[in-house]
Amino acid sequence: MSEELRSPSTEQGTPAARTPIIEARGIVKRFGGAVAVDDVSIAVEPGEIHGLVGENGAGKSTLMRVLAGVLAPNDGSVWVDGHQLDPGNTREALDAGVSLVHQELSLVPEMTVAENILLGSTPTRAGFIDARRQRQVAAEALEEIGVTVDLDEPIARLSVALRQFVEIARAIARKPRVLILDEPTATLTPAETEYLLDMLKRLASRGLAILYISHRIPEIFAICDRVTVLRDGSLVTSEGIGDLTPQSVVEHMVGRDLQLDLESRRLNPDIGEPVLSARGVKAPGVNDIDLDVRAGEIVGLGGLVGAGRTELVRAMIGADPRSGGEMTITLGGTPRRITGYRAAIAAGTAYIPEERRSDGLALTMTVVDNIALPNRSALSRSFVLQRRRIAEFATALAEAVNLRPPEIEREVGQYSGGNQQKVVLAKWLGRKPDVIVLDEPTRGVDVGAKVEIHRLIRELADEGAAVLVVSSDLPELLELSDTIHVVRDGRIVGVLPGAEADETAVMALASGQQEVDVA
């Protein structure tokens, strides 16, 4: 397979003010009794990159779906080039030039790159698919964004980054005038993120209007001309980027100063004996690793994407098979061998997976039913689930993780990413785990929800749990960890005390610039 990213030119220049291409006026959207968007107006001009920020649950994704015709508002209207769109009409929005790239990719893994790019608009001739035209249009869309990939390659064989670029190419193939992107860099490496941001600048310089949702404040200041901030479904402010600072944006988002929370580290934690122990663990991508996590300790796993961190934790808890080595969980002085995932759960382990939507939640089920799933034995009497007892149990856990709004009968899929992550945490907190393994616990989560999740992680450790965290967010890894083990090429190449670690030391080990004897 031949695939590469070519650095596009980044023609600079902020466009002069002109008539907006797309405009939302007084949008109101309710889900039952909850108001997701409350009288919000926003406008994006040609050539403008307009940032939309806010905490999880602020209403950003709901507003975007209204703009793209996926949802019909309860009140308000959407206009493109002075023409009012039919509410909730996706086809009309597409025909008007509005393309939305969702946070969760919608590609079909078994289909080829070309087939996915033209999915929903496959060209035909005499009633048959025009494969030649399909390939031509797909190639032009990839050329437009500066990405080369085999058109006949199945999506399932592509990296996560290339899947994201194919999704954007799919939107570009529709020749949009407005491109809406919801957290497009959530799964990208720093280099891939930089490439994407340069690409968006180039597209905007050609007159494309871009509405850009991101929790990553540095990205907003790197590419946006204007920023609109939502909080609790309402418009807080909409200002030019030159009138804002990163700190002021955060304060607008959360309504409070988070600086002290984000910079906090545990001081003198009460750390006990090893609870989770790995000896000589081998698995695909994991090469003979020893690792201990002690009671009351937060151990962070650092490293670059593809280093083997996820493979290690999944092998340790039996979620994936091991080819060698031994795992034990020791509680009250009694070690238990972990031969598989069921044994790990039975021994008091909780696992928060990297992919919450596919591996951590049943999206079409309610909050209460998701929370009940791993807690059924504790919530049943004579093998009969007690509905009232379950509701009280779920309500208490929803409050403990600060789910917003705390509607336990609401489908999990209707919540924002940060609130979904809180539900994953809530369902395992109900088991009072002795070991908790978290893989990218705050990916796609806003700064406010991140602080709350960090608080929960620290509280678990303070209560004596052994905590193992995988994170590609270096500041997060440094803020949380008592000890950092750096992984490269499936091996632990360095161990750093949390109080002494910094980004330079972690990256030096992760990239191979420094070697440490960990024997």
Name the CATH architecture for the domain at 258-348+433-519: 3-Layer(aba) Sandwich (3.40)
Q: Which residues contact 208 (CB under 8 A, 6 or more apart)?
A: 46, 47, 176, 177, 178, 179
User: What token pair was written down for 278?
Assistant: 């790995």
Among candidate residues 149, 146, 244, the one with its CA nearest the CA of residue 201: 146
Q: Decide if 462 contacts 296 (C-beta within 8 A).
A: yes
Q: What is the pTM of this model?
A: 0.62
pLDDT at 139: 92
CA angle 318, 417, 347 (to 5 degrees): 25
- Residues 336, 387: Cα–Cα separation, whole Å: 34
User: What token pair was written down for 326?
Assistant: 């031994």
- Residues 308, 485: Cα–Cα separation, whole Å: 12
Q: Decide if 483 contacts 294 (C-beta within 8 A).
A: no
- Three-state secondary-structure class, residue 49: strand
Residue 173 burial (C-beta neighbours within 10 Å; 0-12, 13-18, 19+): buried
User: In this model, does residue 493 exceed pLDDT 50?
Assistant: yes
Find the mean pLDDT for residues 129-137.
85
Among candidate residues 124, 112, 114, 117, the one with its CA nearest the CA of residue 99: 117
Find the mean pLDDT for residues 170-177.
92
Q: Which residue has the tokens 């799919």?
A: 170
User: In this model, does residue 472 exceed pLDDT 90?
Assistant: no
pLDDT at 447: 76
Q: Which part of the chain has CATH 3.40.50.300?
A: 4-9+20-257, 258-348+433-519
Find the mean pLDDT for residues 236-254.
89
User: In this model, does residue 296 exceed pLDDT 50?
Assistant: yes
CA angle 183, 357, 168 (to 5 degrees): 35
- Residues 57, 48: Cα–Cα separation, whole Å: 25
Sequence-separated contacts (24+) of 70-73 with Cβ below 8 Å? 70/100, 71/29, 73/27, 73/28, 73/29, 73/37
Find the mean pLDDT for residues 328-348.
94
pLDDT in tens, 2-56: 344 444 444 444 444 568 999 999 999 998 777 889 999 999 999 999 999 987 6
Find the mean pLDDT for residues 479-505.
90
Distances (CA, A) of 123 to 115, 117, 132, 134, 404: 10, 11, 9, 6, 44
DSSP code at position 495: E
Find the mean pLDDT for residues 344-359.
90
Torsion of CA 372, 374, 379, 384, to 10 degrees: 90
- Residues 270, 462: Cα–Cα separation, whole Å: 7
- Residues 257, 251: Cα–Cα separation, whole Å: 6
Topology of domain 4-9+20-257, per CATH? Answer: Rossmann fold (3.40.50)
- Residues 141, 136: Cα–Cα separation, whole Å: 9
Q: Express as a percent the part of the chain with pLDDT over 70.
A: 92
**87 upstream amide cis, omega within 30 of 0:** no
- Looking at the DSSP bridge assignments, the partners of residue 279 are 326
pLDDT in tens, 308-327: 999 999 999 999 999 999 99
Q: Decide if 113 contacts 158 (C-beta within 8 A).
A: yes
Find the mean pLDDT for residues 279-292.
95
- Three-state secondary-structure class, residue 236: strand
